[in-house]
A = this chain, B = another copy of it.
Amino acid sequence: MDSTVTIKDVAARAGVSVATTSRVLSGNPSTSAKSRERVRAAVEDLGYRPDARARSLRSARSQTVGLLISDVRNPFFADVAHGAEQAALRSSYVTLLANANEDPRQQDTYLESFLTQRVDGIIIAPQGEGSANLRALATKVPLVFVDRTVEGFEVPSVTTDNAGGIDQAVAHLADRGHTRIGYIGGPFSISTGRARHDAFVDAVRRYGLDSDPELITSGDFRSASGYTAAERLLSGGRPPTALLAADSLMAVGALGTLRRRGLRIGVDVDLVAFDDIEWFSELDPPLTVVSHDAEAMGSTAMRLLLDVVEGGAPSSVVLPARLVVRASSGGTCGEA
A interface with B by C-beta (< 8 Å): 1-3, 47, 49-54, 56-57, 60, 62, 64, 72-73, 75, 78-79, 81-82, 85, 89, 94-99, 101, 106, 109, 112-113, 115-118, 136, 139-142, 223, 227, 249, 252-253, 255-256, 258-260, 265, 278-279, 281-286, 333
Contact = CB atoms under 8 A, between A and B. Distances in A.
A266 to B, nearest CB: 11
A140 B73 contact: no
A89 B109 contact: yes
Nearest to A112: B49
Contact of A223 (B47, B255, B278): B278
Q: How many copies does the complex hold?
A: 2
Nearest to A54: B57
A136 B49 CA distance: 13
Contacts of A60: 2
Nearest to A52: B116
Contacts of A139: 1
A333 B258 CA distance: 13
Given A53-B57, A81-B99, A255-B284, 8 more contacts: A1-B142, A49-B112, A52-B117, A53-B56, A72-B81, A73-B75, A97-B97, A256-B282
Contacts of A56: 53
A97 B96 CA distance: 6
B53 A118 contact: yes
19 contacts: A1-B142, A3-B140, A53-B62, A73-B75, A73-B78, A73-B278, A96-B97, A97-B98, A223-B279, A223-B282, A252-B278, A252-B279, A255-B282, A259-B282, A259-B283, A259-B284, A259-B286, A265-B284, A283-B284
3 shortest interchain CB distances as A-B pairs:
A256-B282, A97-B97, A252-B279
Contact of A73 (B49, B79, B258): B79
A108 to B, nearest CB: 12
Contacts of A117: 52-53, 64, 94
A325 B207 CA distance: 45
A73 B106 CA distance: 22
A52 B118 contact: yes
A96 B94 contact: yes
A1 B140 contact: yes
A105 to B, nearest CB: 11
A328 to B, nearest CB: 11
